[in-house]
């Protein structure tokens, strides 16, 4: 933990139930989220993302470990005594109040004077571009508009940390993309630390400063989107984020030896080589270092094509190649070709 950290979890454990029906939702999670960061917790359903968020908010108490906010131990503090606020997937707006009344609600409850409530509410409405609809009932708003109001309401009391639990998942794809941009802008403009929960890897890659990838109650890797994508730490992370190839290897003289006998240079250590499809090249069979392969199938995706390849030991891999000018790929199913990995792109993992 440093003074730059907004949220720290130290060896956090959370179990639900007892005995045979006990579920260990979080298993020794330690994490530091920096001030002003857009941090995303990413993982499949049931991996413990929401549980971690609820522990940070104070809606649940950990079975073990410590939670700090802004350097202060808040492990046993109730939600209303923590400098955080939460935006839920369901928005949870007050239906009998107008947009303006929803946004100003927490400020009024804090006992702030009228002028301050009005001023802050107006600023929040401007921030989410909802000034013109300020006096509407929330029931008359679209999903995207309701989400904006929920954000303004959560930001109004100026929390140090805003927790967002799959806030965009109820929106259709187009609106979701728009709100992704909006959220990112809001976070940068306010400078508030955002902790965002999603199971959508593309959403996580495009919005986050850093991502914590979770699986089965454990944090697998915490890194920038680029690092997570280019240097996944294990098989789970490599397979969950984007598409990738997995090839079993044994130790070679200079790196790794594939099942077909070819020697390849790869970073890291482990029994499996992973390489992204866009880092696999199809080259001439006599190019130095080329691995012999056969083309199984070609699949077109408009701007690029996926070439399914098979090595001499039967191992399969996919290359994603840009479609050449004129659209003729120059290869066909059944062709014998060479395969080469881009320098530094192949990694060995556990």
Q: How far is CA 323 from the centre of its chain?
A: 30
Closest approach, Cβ 76 to ligand ATP, in A, equals: 19
Query: Which of 215, 220, 217 is CA-nearest to residue 26?
Result: 217
201 lies in the site for ligand ATP, by CB under 6 A: no
Closest approach, Cβ 48 to ligand ATP, in A, equals: 4
Choices 42-50, 249-257, 314-322, 324-332; region in contact with ligand ATP by CB under 6 A = 42-50
Closest approach, Cβ 114 to ligand ATP, in A, equals: 40
Task: Please provide the DSSP assignment of 165-199 as one string.
Answer: ESTTTTS-HHHHHHHHHHHHHHHHHH--EEEEEES
199 lies in the site for ligand ATP, by CB under 6 A: yes
167 lies in the site for ligand ATP, by CB under 6 A: no
Query: Nearer Cβ to ligand ATP, position 16 or 300?
Result: 16
Are 118 and 48 contacting, i.e. CB atoms less than 8 angstroms apart? Answer: no
Q: Tell me the backbone φ, ψ of residue 44, rounded to 5 degrees.
A: -70, 165
Closest approach, Cβ 169 to ligand ATP, in A, equals: 9
2 lies in the site for ligand ATP, by CB under 6 A: no
Query: Nearer Cβ to ligand ATP, position 197 or 318?
Result: 197
46 lies in the site for ligand ATP, by CB under 6 A: yes
Q: Tell me the backbone φ, ψ of residue 325, rounded to 5 degrees.
A: -55, 135
Are 309 and 249 contacting, i.e. CB atoms less than 8 angstroms apart? Answer: no
Choices 39-47, 101-109, 123-131, 316-324; region in contact with ligand ATP by CB under 6 A = 39-47
219 lies in the site for ligand ATP, by CB under 6 A: no
Query: Nearer Cβ to ligand ATP, position 55 or 247?
Result: 55
Residue 148, helix vs strand vs coil = helix
How far apart CA 265 and CA 92 sit, in angstroms, is: 53
The DSSP 8-state label assigned to residue 98 in this structure reads B
Instruction: Extract the tokens encoding 53.
Output: 């968020």
In the complex, the residues that contact ligand ATP under the rule CB under 6 A are 16-17, 23, 25, 43, 45-51, 199
């Amino acid at each position: 933990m440093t003074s730059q950290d907004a949220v720290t979890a130290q060896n956090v454990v959370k179990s639900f139930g007892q005995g045979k029906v006990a579920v260990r939702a979080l298993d020794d999670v330690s994490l530091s989220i920096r001030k002003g960061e857009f941090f995303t917790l990413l993982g499949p359903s049931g991996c413990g993302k929401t549980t971690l968020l609820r522990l940070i908010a104070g809606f649940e108490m950990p079975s073990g470990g410590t939670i700090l906010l802004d350097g202060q131990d808040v492990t046993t503090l109730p939600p209303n005594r923590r400098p955080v606020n939460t935006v839920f997937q369901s928005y949870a707006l007050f239906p009998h109040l107008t947009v303006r009344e929803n946004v100003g609600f927490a400020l009024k409850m804090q006992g702030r004077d009228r002028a301050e409530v009005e001023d802050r509410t107006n600023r929040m409405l401007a921030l989410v571009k909802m000034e013109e609809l300020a006096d509407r009932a929330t029931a008359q708003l679209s999903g995207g508009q309701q989400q904006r109001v929920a954000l303004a309401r959560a930001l109004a009391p100026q929390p140090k940390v805003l927790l967002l639990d799959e806030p965009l998942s109820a929106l259709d794809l187009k609106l979701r993309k728009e709100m992704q941009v909006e959220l990112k802008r809001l976070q940068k403009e306010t400078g508030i630390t955002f902790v965002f929960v999603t199971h959508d890897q593309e959403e996580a890659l495009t919005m986050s400063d850093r991502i914590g990838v979770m699986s089965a109650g454990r944090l697998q890797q915490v890194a920038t989107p680029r690092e997570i994508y280019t240097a996944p730490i294990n098989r789970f992370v490599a397979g969950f984020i984007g598409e990738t190839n997995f090839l079993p290897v044994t130790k070679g003289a200079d790196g790794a030896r594939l099942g077909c006998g070819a020697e390849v240079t790869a970073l890291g250590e482990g029994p499996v080589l992973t390489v992204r499809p866009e880092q696999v090249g199809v080259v001439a069979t006599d190019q130095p270092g080329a691995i012999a392969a056969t083309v199984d199938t070609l699949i077109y995706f408009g701007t690029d094509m996926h070439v399914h390849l098979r090595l001499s030991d039967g191992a399969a891999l996919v290359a994603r190649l840009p479609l050449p000018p004129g659209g003729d790929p120059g290869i066909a199913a059944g062709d014998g070709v060479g395969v080469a990995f881009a320098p530094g792109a192949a990694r060995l993992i556990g």
